[in-house]
């Protein structure tokens, strides 16, 4: 095998995809490859789809590895590892010209395409004959990948020891053996491709996290100690993560009988002084809306995470969508100001959830945090978190003077009142879902009081909107001809599309707020001025954010909607930029053009 010492590792940028039968280790093979690439010093960005079935169905896992910071899961596939015919048929069209196909020649024989390089490897028989365990075919495949592309084998070995250590020495040895069986097999074949990685360029310590894992670490860091939830794809792993970690810190996770109970327990725990959260997906979030209103009117800090999936109803439980924005902003009855945030990257999941808790505490209301299946379940390399970036904020407690004739819902200039907790003498009050006066006393028939109290609750938005402006990011040109407005998990892919468009000479820039409700109106106004067209890409059907913005701005936004349960690729956004730019430059852009889209 040739060494990779001469190539520039910063130029490494490859997409690997593994496909096969669900439940046969496809996902864990992808994960091990990912972890090894990350530990070898590369930036990684994964994407996975998995069937709704537990066993069977098609599963695939993709990892992009690069010497530079990655913003999207990439475009064409450089290396496809197919365990069966179905995986081959499904993905072969995505492999770039000159790309590599590795496949299990015991399972099928690929009808070779001329533009591609093929390595048929008898993965199953190598596993059964040399190791005696069929499932080690996954590890044999990793050995093949490691040897063929110079992904350091010692890094794989280290990982296998870690991963299988608890199962005993025999299991570890069998896996190490399988790795080397794969490596030796391919070492005797002629290398036909030019893909070589070697050690990556990154020296600094980083973590390998999924969006959901990053969110959990942030929640722990900001002081969340109570979690209540109900299992639901793609949010269950948040509950499982915290169930393991919170008790170590003196906290606890309770799996409730439904999502209504989950948010009820969160409100009860927060009322009693703990930082508490729940995480769910669309169906569970729908159930929570009544309780969210209670949190608003009783002014209780709470964090509600919605890892969005395709809806409505059961929809496509394992697929991604940005379809719950309307519900997050407007779900529930009455005039009901809550904060809605959207997480933008795996790293942002950490700091974003910290900010969500901070805002819940500072403004004493529920904060809805939108993630989605593509973000929650993809892995990325993230610098070790710097806690000083988001100082922890605690709720305002009553002073001793305020505890004399204590008024829980006292009117204050900032519209936030001192919040007592059980155990404090003189601080007793009723957390009240009926409309109430400053003391918490029900005032369900006092018409003027309702306006005063509603003003108080909405009054918090002045300060939140200021934060929304501060937490809005701009990429590319700050005053572009073609603007893009995105939200949530599309941040990276939009940034990459903007870079590509700028390289092609387009005047383009993107605005990406982290707080979606209330909206960062000052930042949006400033950004829109001078633009000739603005594209709003969303992974949904109707353009939910575009609709919210049309209520605020008389602007003829161009929607770009993707509604097939998959995230955008940079090219899809780039194509739209070029198409819109062509219309702008031809002077043909008109409202008719926008309406057609």
Binding site for another protein (CB under 8 A): 39, 205-209, 213, 217, 220-221, 225-226, 228, 244-245, 247-250, 252, 254, 256-258, 260-274, 276, 290-291, 293-294, 298, 384-385, 387, 420, 422-434, 441-442
Partnered with residue 380 across adjacent β-strands are: 45, 209
Query: Looking at beta carbons only, is 243 or 471 nearer to another protein?
Result: 243
Query: Looking at beta carbons only, is 181 or 277 nearer to another protein?
Result: 277
Alpha-carbon distance 506 to 498, whole Å? 9
Q: Nearest approach, Cβ of 431 to another protein (angstroms)?
A: 5
Alpha-carbon distance 252 to 243, whole Å? 7
Tokens of 90: 């499904």
Q: Nearest approach, Cβ of 271 to another protein (angstroms)?
A: 6
Element (H, E) at 451: helix 447-459
Q: Nearest approach, Cβ of 286 to another protein (angstroms)?
A: 15
Element (H, E) at 199: none
Partnered with residue 372 across adjacent β-strands are: 308
Partnered with residue 59 across adjacent β-strands are: 20
Query: Looking at beta carbons only, is 254 or 316 nearer to another protein?
Result: 254
Alpha-carbon distance 183 to 155, whole Å? 14
Query: Looking at beta carbons only, is 127 or 267 nearer to another protein?
Result: 267
Query: Looking at beta carbons only, is 208 or 368 nearer to another protein?
Result: 208
Tokens of 517: 């409700």
Q: Nearest approach, Cβ of 427 to another protein (angstroms)?
A: 7
Alpha-carbon distance 425 to 440, whole Å? 17
Partnered with residue 47 across adjacent β-strands are: 62
Query: Looking at beta carbons only, is 10 or 244 nearer to another protein?
Result: 244
Q: Nearest approach, Cβ of 93 to another protein (angstroms)?
A: 35
Query: Looking at beta carbons only, is 211 or 509 nearer to another protein?
Result: 211
C-beta atoms surrounding 204 within 10 Å: 8
Tokens of 33: 């490859």
Query: Looking at beta carbons only, is 11 or 258 nearer to another protein?
Result: 258
Is 433 exposed, middle or buried, given 0-12, 13-18 or 19+ CB atoms closer than 10 A? middle
Locus of tokens 């008389």: 554
Closest of 452, 380, 377, 439 to residue 404, by C-alpha: 439
Alpha-carbon distance 404 to 407, whole Å? 9
Q: Are 537 and 511 in contact (CB under 8 A)?
A: no
Q: Nearest approach, Cβ of 322 to another protein (angstroms)?
A: 27
Query: Looking at beta carbons only, is 262 or 325 nearer to another protein?
Result: 262
Q: Nearest approach, Cβ of 396 to another protein (angstroms)?
A: 17
Q: Nearest approach, Cβ of 293 to another protein (angstroms)?
A: 8
Tokens of 64: 């992009």
Alpha-carbon distance 395 to 518, whole Å? 20
Q: Are 158 and 36 in contact (CB under 8 A)?
A: no
Query: Looking at beta carbons only, is 53 or 258 nearer to another protein?
Result: 258
Q: Nearest approach, Cβ of 379 to another protein (angstroms)?
A: 10
Residue 312: asked if its preceding bond is cis (omega within 30°), the reply is: yes
Q: Nearest approach, Cβ of 268 to another protein (angstroms)?
A: 2
């Amino acid at each position: 095998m040739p060494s990779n010492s001469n190539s520039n590792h910063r130029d490494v940028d490859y997409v690997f995809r593994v496909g096969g039968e669900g439940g046969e280790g496809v996902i864990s093979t992808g994960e091990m490859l990912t972890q090894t690439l990350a530990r070898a010093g590369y930036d990684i960005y994964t994407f996975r789809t998995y069937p709704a079935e537990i066993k069977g169905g098609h599963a695939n896992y993709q990892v992009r590895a690069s010497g530079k910071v990655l913003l999207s899961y990439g475009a064409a596939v450089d290396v496809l590892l197919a365990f069966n015919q179905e995986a081959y048929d499904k993905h072969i069209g995505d492999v770039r010209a000159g790309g590599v196909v590795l496949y299990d020649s015991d399972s099928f024989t690929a009808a070779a395409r001329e533009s591609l390089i093929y390595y048929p490897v008898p993965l199953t028989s190598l596993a059964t004959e040399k190791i005696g365990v069929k499932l080690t075919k996954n590890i044999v495949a990793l050995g093949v990948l490691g040897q063929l592309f110079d992904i350091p084998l010692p890094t794989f070995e280290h990982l296998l020891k870690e991963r299988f250590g608890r199962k005993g020495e025999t299991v570890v040895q069998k896996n190490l053996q399988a790795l080397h069986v794969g490596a030796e097999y391919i070492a005797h074949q002629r290398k036909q491709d030019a893909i070589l990685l070697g050690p990556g360029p990154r020296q600094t310590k980083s973590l390998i996290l999924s969006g959901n894992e990053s969110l959990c670490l942030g929640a722990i860091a900001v002081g969340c100690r109570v979690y209540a939830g109900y299992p639901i794809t793609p949010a269950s792993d948040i509950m499982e993560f915290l169930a393991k970690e919170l008790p170590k810190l003196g906290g606890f996770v309770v799996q409730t009988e439904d999502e209504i109970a989950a948010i009820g327990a969160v409100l009860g725990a927060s009322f009693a002084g703990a930082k508490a959260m729940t995480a769910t997906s669309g169906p569970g979030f729908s159930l929570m809306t009544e309780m969210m209103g209670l949190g608003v009117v009783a002014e209780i800090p709470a964090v509600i995470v919605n890892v969005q999936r395709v809806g409505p109803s059961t929809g496509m439980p394992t697929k991604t969508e940005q379809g719950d924005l309307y519900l997050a902003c407007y779900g529930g009855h009455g005039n009901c100001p809550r904060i809605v945030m959207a997480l933008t990257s795996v790293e942002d999941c950490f700091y974003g959830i910290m900010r969500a808790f901070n805002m819940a505490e500072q403004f004493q209301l529920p904060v809805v945090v939108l993630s989605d299946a593509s973000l929650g379940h993809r892995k990325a390399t993230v610098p070790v978190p710097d806690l000083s970036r988001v100082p922890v904020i605690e709720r305002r407690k009553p002073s001793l003077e305020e505890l004399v004739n204590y008024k829980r819902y006292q009117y204050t200039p900032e519209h936030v009142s001192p919040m007592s907790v059980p155990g404090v003498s003189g601080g007793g009050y009723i957390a009240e879902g009926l409309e109430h006066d400053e003391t918490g006393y029900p005032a369900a028939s006092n018409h003027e009081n309702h306006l005063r109290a509603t003003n108080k609750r909405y009054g918090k938005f002045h300060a939140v909107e200021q934060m929304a402006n501060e937490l809005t990011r701009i990429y590319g040109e700050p005053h572009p001809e073609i603007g893009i407005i995105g939200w949530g998990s599309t941040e990276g892919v939009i940034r990459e599309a903007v870079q590509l468009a700028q390289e092609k000479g387009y005047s383009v820039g993107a605005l990406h707020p982290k707080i979606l409700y209330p909206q960062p109106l000052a930042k949006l106004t400033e950004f829109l001025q001078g633009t000739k067209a603005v594209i709003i890409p969303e992974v949904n059907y109707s353009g939910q954010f575009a609709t919210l913005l049309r209520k605020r701005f008389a602007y003829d936004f161009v929607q770009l909607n993707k509604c097939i349960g998959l995230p955008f690729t940079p090219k899809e956004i780039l194509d739209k930029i070029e198409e819109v730019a062509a219309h702008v430059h031809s002077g043909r852009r008109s409202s008719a053009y926008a309406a057609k889209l």
